[in-house]
Amino acid sequence: MTKSNSINVGSASKQNLPIKNIVIVGADVIGWSAAVALARGLGGQNVNITILDTKSDHAAPNKSLHASEHIFDFHRLLGIQDKNLLMHGHMKLNLGAKFHAFNRENQAAGDFVLGCDRAMPSFCSIELHQVLAWLGLNDPEKYSISCAAINSNLLAIPTKQTGTMSASFSPSVNLDGDAYLQFMQGAAKHLAIKIVQADIKDLEQDPENGFVTQITLSSGQILDVDLLLDNSQLNPALQVLSCQRDYINCGEYLPFDSVLSGFEPTQTAASPFQQFYGVEGGWIEITTHSNLRNITLHYSSQLFQDEAAKQVILSHIPNVQGVSLTRKIARYLTKPLDKNCLTIGQAAGYLGTSPISSLVLMQRTLSKLLELFPSKLCLPQNTAELNKRILKDYQEALHYTALMIPFSEQVQENAEMQRYSWHLSIDQLPPELKHKVELFQSSGRIGSELNPLISRDAWLNLLKHKVKNRHAYEPVLHALDKHKAAQFIEQLGLQIEQSISRYRPYS
């Protein structure tokens, strides 16, 4: 009976009351965006949202943030106009990535381009990649508008144009880290989000259930807490919070425990894609903004000395500045929400910076939190359901990254072809991912997806580049007119060329 919202816990009776005081620890871009998302998502609720840190922000000058297309959904929730961000140059569209030297086989020619096509055209309702395989056309990039744009270093902008065969596509973005932070801070101001600058002196915990109830600051001030968002890996002064936490370690798949990053001011135009280079100890990611180029080397400390890593960076960008090293283990928390504390940001999980950024994972975590918003009691079943949904994202992100970076088809076929010791063979992949690859190998099929973090098209895009060794194509094709199919493909190629001629470089 839903008589009243009260429960008996032990001897004391606890009321199941709404959450009133939310404290977010850690004022970087993740913390501020989380605050804005909560304030928006809880509009009309009687909540106080406070950000706590020793400083009011963690500006990260000369750093760009990559975020997948989900950022647009998040902005919609927040009522943010993407146009504004784009106009001011705080956000740049990104059509995909160019991969260099990831496979030995492809050393000379075959670097590949990963586009962002969605809803690819089909021939007699058979998917394009199947038709290409049938016709023996091994150059899928030619028939992908985003790949074609990347190859000509042009920015393609999605239009709602109808009547064209060429596919639609869904760009990700590169954000100017500082500008985005300021933008969120601006939004926070209008939403009455408080910022408190202080060290944490002490935490008060409920002796019965271990919930954090109060935070005492070095200034003596006391903050009441109903729900705590812990983004504190950022600041050692706040780390009293990170008690014992269980992580799922992903080092087996992503052994890159060191991140060396730097930047170079440039005069060149922004490029609408990222560049990835495979190297001995790991891989390099380069993002070019209008006035800035960011470089990051993700490597395994087992495979590279830090000094050697620095040399690798220098060999790519001789004038690199502000080089800094961090150590991060690829892993994610088993219980993101534990008691009344939700961990967000990199302490919740880290799976490399691209393609699924911490920003996007945090955003999706918050949407799920709002769907299953807890009460003061943080009821256990609700918490378990929330954690289950969040973990699904991390697992999916791990699979996608493992396929994108370390997976190499060559490894199993011929050990000599193996280029890097961090390459993974199909048998070394997590079982669900292995099945996905095998299914694609067997017939070019993609399994049914349940998690919208990575769309079916995004999987298809990646699989068709990483899995070349296909055994078969769609058998129904045999009944179709090969000549017509070839004409269709030729038309498509022409249309894409025409579209490309309308695109401009990023300026």
Partner 1 sequence: MMQSANIENIVIVGGGTAGWMVAAAMANRLPKRLCNITLIESDAIGTVGVGESTIPHIRQFNQTLGIDEATFLKETHATVKLGIQFNDWGAIGESYFHPFGEHGQITQGIDFHQYWLKARALGENHPIEDYSIAATAALARKFPLSTQDKQTKFADYTYSYHIDATAYARFLRQYSQTRGVSRVEGKVASVKQHNNQFIQSVTLESGEEIAGDLFIDCTGFRALLIEKVLDVPFIDWSHWLPTDTAVAVQCDLDRTNTTKPYTQATARASGWQWQIPLQHRIGNGHVFTSAYTKQQDAMDVLMNSLPGKAIAEPKVLRFKAGRRQESWQKNCVAIGLSSGFLEPLESTSIYLIQQGISKLLELFPDKQCNQTVINEYNQCLGQSYELIRNFIILHYHATKRHDSDFWLYCQNMSIPEELERLISLFSESGRADLGQFGVWPAVCIGQNIMPKYYDTRLDNMTEATLKQFMAGHRRNIQDMVASFPNATDYINEQLAKGLV
Positions that interact with partner 1 (CB under 8 A): 1-5, 7, 16-19, 41-46, 124, 133, 136, 370-373, 375-377, 379-382, 384-385, 389, 435, 438-439, 441-443, 445, 447-448, 450, 470-476, 478-480
Contact status, residue 101 vs residue 148, Cβ threshold 8 Å = no
Rounded to whole angstroms, the Cα distance separating 26 from 234 reads: 6
Nearer to partner 1, 134 or 506 (CB): 134
Sign of CA dihedral 323, 328, 332, 333: negative
Rounded to whole angstroms, the Cα distance separating 114 from 98 reads: 6
Contact status, residue 424 vs residue 411, Cβ threshold 8 Å = yes
- Residue 455's SS3 state is coil
**Nearest 5 degrees, angle CA 114-CA 118-CA 121?**
105
Rounded to whole angstroms, the Cα distance separating 330 from 394 reads: 11
CB of 36 to partner 1, least distance (A): 15
- Residue 289's SS3 state is coil
Quick one: which of 49, 45, 44 has its CA closest to 22?
Answer: 49
What's CA 451's distance to the chain center, in Å? Answer: 14
H or E segment and range at residue 82 = helix 82-87
Q: How many residues does the chain have?
A: 507
Nearer to partner 1, 371 or 490 (CB): 371
CB of 228 to partner 1, least distance (A): 17
CB of 318 to partner 1, least distance (A): 44
**Nearest 5 degrees, angle CA 297-CA 110-CA 351?**
30
Rounded to whole angstroms, the Cα distance separating 270 from 487 reads: 36
Contact status, residue 413 vs residue 421, Cβ threshold 8 Å = no
Contact status, residue 54 vs residue 239, Cβ threshold 8 Å = no
Residue-wise DSSP of 370-429 = HHT---TT--HHHHHHHHHHHHHHHHHHHHHHHHHTTB-THHHH-GGG---TT-B-GGGS
Nearer to partner 1, 75 or 470 (CB): 470
Nearer to partner 1, 3 or 83 (CB): 3
Torsion region of 141: left, alpha or beta (phi above 0 gives left; psi -120 to 50 gives alpha): alpha
Nearer to partner 1, 296 or 441 (CB): 441
Rounded to whole angstroms, the Cα distance separating 185 from 56 reads: 10
Rounded to whole angstroms, the Cα distance separating 233 from 327 reads: 12
Nearer to partner 1, 310 or 468 (CB): 468
Nearer to partner 1, 16 or 266 (CB): 16
Contact status, residue 29 vs residue 60, Cβ threshold 8 Å = yes
Nearer to partner 1, 243 or 476 (CB): 476
Nearer to partner 1, 47 or 248 (CB): 47
- Residue 65's SS3 state is strand
CB of 167 to partner 1, least distance (A): 20
CB of 386 to partner 1, least distance (A): 9
CB of 257 to partner 1, least distance (A): 33
Nearer to partner 1, 376 or 465 (CB): 376
CB of 69 to partner 1, least distance (A): 21
CB of 87 to partner 1, least distance (A): 30
CB of 58 to partner 1, least distance (A): 29
Sheet containing 172-176: give its strands across: 64-67, 172-176, 91-94
CB of 358 to partner 1, least distance (A): 23
CB of 190 to partner 1, least distance (A): 19
Nearer to partner 1, 290 or 382 (CB): 382
Nearer to partner 1, 6 or 152 (CB): 6
CB of 17 to partner 1, least distance (A): 6
